[in-house]
Structure 1
Amino acid sequence: MKKHAVLITVLFALIVSLVSVSAIFWEFYKLNKEQYINHIFTKYSVITQIYREHKQRRSPAIMLEANLAVYNLEVTKDKKIKNLVLTQGKILKKEGFRSLNTSLMINEKGMFTQNTVTNLRATMLEYKKGIYFFIETPNGEILIKDNDLKPYSYLNLLYAYSTIFMIISFSFVLVLQKLRPLIRLRKKIALYGEGHMNISFKTKSVDEIGAVANELEKTRQKINNILESRTLFLRNLMHELKTPIAKGTIATQMLDSQKQKGRFSSIFNRLETLVNEFAMIEEVTSLDDKKDFSNYRLLDIIDGAIDMAMVERSHVNILHIDGSVKVHVNYRLYTTAIKNMIDNAIKYSSDKQITIVMRNNELCFESKGECLKYPLQYYIEPFTKDNPSKNSFGLGLYLVDSILKAHSQVLAHEYDNGMNRFIFA
C-alpha cells in the first residue's frame, strides 16, 4: 500500500469529492422538491373555497366544473380512474384543517351572522405525471386534476450534478496522466536498485517529474562511473598485490631461520587471505543480477562449505535438514557464507563444535560459548574483531551479511542457555 501512497491519496480525494458533491446535491434535491411541493400545495385553498361554496349553495355540478375550469382544474368523474389515483397514486402531501365560514342569516328576530366550522382534509397526489387534489369533508369528497401543475422534475438538477461529476472525474484522469511518468520512474528506480545499471531515466518531459528524472539520469551516470572506477581499482590492486605476495612466499622458503620463515609465512598467508576476501567482497557488491543463481540441494551446499573450511566432519553436526530441501542461490557465494559461519563457530566456541539445524524453515548455526559483547550490527561492520589476537581481519561476518543481502536474506543472532545461534533468515 505504501508503494502507491500518492495514487491512493488522489483516489481518496476523488472519492471524498464525489461523495461530498453527491451528498450536497441529494440534500439540495430533497429541499428543492419539498419547497416545490409546498408551493403548489397552496392551490388547495382555491379548490376548497370553490367546493365549499358549491356545497353551501347547492349549485349544479356544471357550475362547480365551470368555476374550477377558470383555474384549469378538472373534476375526475370516472370511478375507475378515481380509484386508481387514490390507490396507486403517490401521496405528495396531506393536511387536515378546519374551515370557518360566516353566513348572513334571517329569522323572526331579524338578521344575524352564523359561523360554520367545517373539518376538511386535502391530499395532493401524483399519478401518471398528473397532479390531483383529493378534498374530503363531512358532507362529501371530490377528486380534482390540475392541468397546469406538473410533477417535480429533477432533470435540471441531474444535468448540473452530472456536469460537476464529469468535471471532477476528468480532473482525476488528468492527474493520473501526470502521475504515469512518476509511476514509470518509480519502476525504473526499482530496477536500478535491483542491479540493472544501464537503465536510463532520461525523458523529454519538461515538467517537475521530468526534471527529477533527468537529474536522476545524471546521478546514475555519476554512480556508474564511480562504481566502474572502484571495480577497476580493486581488481588492479588485487592483481598487483598477488604478484609480490607470491614472490614473498617463495622467498620465505629460502630463509635459513625457521623462526623468521614461520613469521614471514604467516604474514604472507594473512595477506593472501585478505586479498581473497577483498575479491569475494568485490564480487558480492558488484553482483548486478541473478543469472548465476540456480536451485541446489542445501545438504550439497553444506557439504561443500565443510570441505572449503577444511575441518573435521566430526566437528559439524547436521540436524533436521531433509535431502529434498533446495535453495535458489549462487553456489560459490552461498557456500562461502556457510563456510565462514563454520570457521567462526569453531574458532570461538568452547568445545570446537557447531550444529547446523533447520528451525522454522530458517538455517541456524549453533555453538556453545559466551554471548556476544556487542550487538550483531557491530560485528557485521568490516574490520571488526572481538578478539584482536585471533588470526582474522574481521571481514568474516561482514562478508556473510553481504552475501545474504545479495540473496534477499538477513543475518540474525540470538543467545539461549549458553548457546550462540546465528540464523539465515
Structure 2
Amino acid sequence: MTKNYSIHTKLIILFVVTFFLVCVLFIVLLKIEGNTYNEEESLKQENLIKNLLISYENTSGVEIGAYLGNSGFNAVQNPNLVKAIRNNGQSLFKAGGELCTLSSLKYHSNLYFDVQCKDFDGLYEENTSDRVYNLLLIGFFSFSLLVVFMYFSVLKSLEPLKKLRRQVAEVANWEQPDFLDYQEDEVGKIAFEFQKAFKKNQELIQSRQLFLRTIMHELKTPIGKGRIISEMIKEDRQKERLIAIFLRMDSLINEFAKIENLFSKNYNLHFKPSRFSTILEEAKEHLMIDDFNKVVKVDIRYDALINVDMEIFSVILKNLIDNALKYSNNGTCELFCCKECFTIKNPGKPLAEPIEHYLEAFTREKHNQVKGMGLGLYIVSEVCKLHNFDLIYFYDDGKHCFKIFFGDKEK
C-alpha cells in the first residue's frame, strides 16, 4: 500500500533535498575553483621567483617588499603564523642562493610567498578579495537565505489550510464557523466557495425543517378533529378502533418529528438502562398488530439490560420487525435475544444488491409491491451508529438475518 504524505511533509522533503543538492553543487564548484586558483597562483609565484632572482643583483630588499606589495601581496604580520607556515608548509617551488632564497609554500590549501634574503625577510600572501571563490561564497549564502525564506513563506501560506480544516471539522460537528480573514489566494478562494456551499446547505436544512414542521402541523389538525368525531360514535368497538387509529397516526407524527430532530442534531439522546422485554413492549404498541404473538415468534433467551434512548430505540426495533414482516414470504418473522445482541429473521429471497445499498435513504427493491419510503433500514443504521451499536446482516438458510450487537466490543 502506497503511503500518503502530507503537503507539509512533502515540502520539508523538497526543501531539504534542494538545499542538500545546492550545498553539494557549491562544494564541488568551490573545490574546482580552489584547485584552479592554486594551479594558477603556483605558476604565477614560480614565474615571480624567477624574475625576482634575475633582477635581485640590482634590487634592494626594500624594493622587493614594495614590488610584492604592488603585485597584490600582503605581508603576514603574525610571527607565530609565519613560523608555523615555514615549518609545516609544503614547498611547491624554491630557488635562490646564499644571499637570497625565494619559495612558494602551501599551507592549509592557501599559497604563500616566502622571502628570506640577507637584507630582507618576509612572508606574503596574495590579496584574494577579487577571487571567484568569494563570489561563490556570497552566492551560496544568498541562495541559502532565499531557500530558507521561501521555505518559511510557503509554510506560512499553508497555515490557512489548517484553519480551513478546523472549520470544516466544526461544520461536521454542526457548528457554524466564520469563514473570514482569508487572503485573495487559492486557499482563500476554496474557503469562499466552501462558505457558499455551507450557507446553501444551511438554507436547505432550514427549508426542509420548515416544510416538515408545516406538514406535521397540518396533519395534527385533521387527526385531532378525527379523534373528536370518533368519540361521538356510539358503537364501542368501532369507537375504540378509530381512537386507536388516530392515536397511532399522532404517535407516528411524533416519532417522525423525533427522528427528524435527531438527524438534524436538535435532539439529545437520553440514555438509560432498559430491559429488552420493556423495549419490545414499547415496540408492540407502535406496531399495533392484534395477532403479534402469532406472526412474530419471540425467544428471549436472556432479557438483556441495554443502555439506550427508550423512545428512539423502540422505534428502531419496531422498524426492524415491521420490515421483516413486510418482506417475509409467509408473513412471519423470528426474534431472538441473548446477552449481547438480538436478531430478527424472516424467510425471503436473497437481496439483489449488497446490504449497503439498502442502508441508504429512500432505497427500495425495484418492482417490489411492498409500500414504503425506503427509510426503515436507513433509520435503523443511523440510530445504531448514534448508540455505538453494530448492525450486522447475513443471509442464512433462506432467511434474512439482522443482528444488532450491543455488547462489549473489546472482548
Q: TM (normalized to structure 1)? A: 0.59
1:3-42 pair list within 5 angstroms: 5-42=6-43
Q: CA deviation at 1:29?
A: 2.3
> Do 1:309 and 1:339's aligned partners in 2 also have CA atoms closer than 8 Å?
yes
Percent identity over paired residues: 26
For 1:353, the aligned partner's letter is L
Give the 3-state SS of the residue equivalent to 1:315 in structure 2: strand
1:225 to 184, 203, 226: 203
> d(CA) in 1 for partners of 2:4 and 2:163?
13
> d(CA) in 2 for partners of 1:3 and 1:244?
59
* Aligned counterpart, 2:117: none
**1:147 equivalenced with 2:124 (yes/no):** yes
Task: Say which structure is richer in strand.
Answer: 1
Q: CA deviation at 1:22?
A: 2.6
For 1:228, the aligned partner's letter is Q
2:393 to 398, 413, 418: 413
Q: Deviations over 1:152-188 (max 9, x none)?
A: 9966534322222222222333333333334323322
Q: CA deviation at 1:231?
A: 1.0
Q: CA deviation at 1:217?
A: 3.8
**1:287 equivalenced with 2:265 (yes/no):** yes
> d(CA) in 2 for partners of 1:346 and 1:270?
19
> d(CA) in 2 for partners of 1:373 and 1:401?
19
What are structure 2's unaligned runs of at least 5 residues? 54-60, 76-82, 94-102, 115-121, 285-291
* Aligned counterpart, 1:180: 159
**1:372 equivalenced with 2:351 (yes/no):** yes
Of 4-13 and 397-406, the range deviating more from structure 2? 4-13
> Do 1:124 and 1:132's aligned partners in 2 also have CA atoms closer than 8 Å?
yes
> d(CA) in 1 for partners of 2:227 and 2:251?
13
Q: CA deviation at 1:191?
A: 1.0
> d(CA) in 2 for partners of 1:364 and 1:27?
74
Give the 3-state SS of the residue equivalent to 2:334 in structure 1: coil
1:206-225 pair list within 5 angstroms: 206-207=184-185, 209-225=187-203
Q: CA deviation at 1:20?
A: 3.5
Q: CA deviation at 1:287?
A: 0.8
Q: CA deviation at 1:387?
A: 10
1:328-367 pair list within 5 angstroms: 332-333=311-312, 336-337=315-316, 340-341=319-320, 344=323, 352-355=334-337, 365=343, 367=345
**1:315 equivalenced with 2:299 (yes/no):** yes
* Aligned counterpart, 1:85: 88
> Do 2:298 and 2:336's aligned partners in 1 also have CA atoms closer than 8 Å?
no
* Aligned counterpart, 2:138: 159
CA separation of 1:164 and 1:406: change in aligned 2, threshold 3 A: farther
CA separation of 1:344 and 1:336: change in aligned 2, threshold 3 A: same
> d(CA) in 1 for partners of 2:327 and 2:43?
100
What are structure 1's unaligned runs of at least 5 residues? 54-64, 75-79, 96-121, 135-144
Q: TM (normalized to structure 2)? A: 0.61
> d(CA) in 1 for partners of 2:23 and 2:84?
38
> d(CA) in 1 for partners of 2:310 and 2:106?
85
CA separation of 1:390 and 1:82: change in aligned 2, threshold 3 A: closer
For 1:36, the aligned partner's letter is Y
For 2:336, the aligned partner's letter is I
Q: CA deviation at 1:192?
A: 1.6
Q: CA deviation at 1:397?
A: 0.6
Q: CA deviation at 1:293?
A: 5.4
**1:200 equivalenced with 2:178 (yes/no):** yes
* Aligned counterpart, 1:99: none
> d(CA) in 2 for partners of 1:23 and 1:416?
68
Quote the RMSD (CA, aligned, Å): 5.5
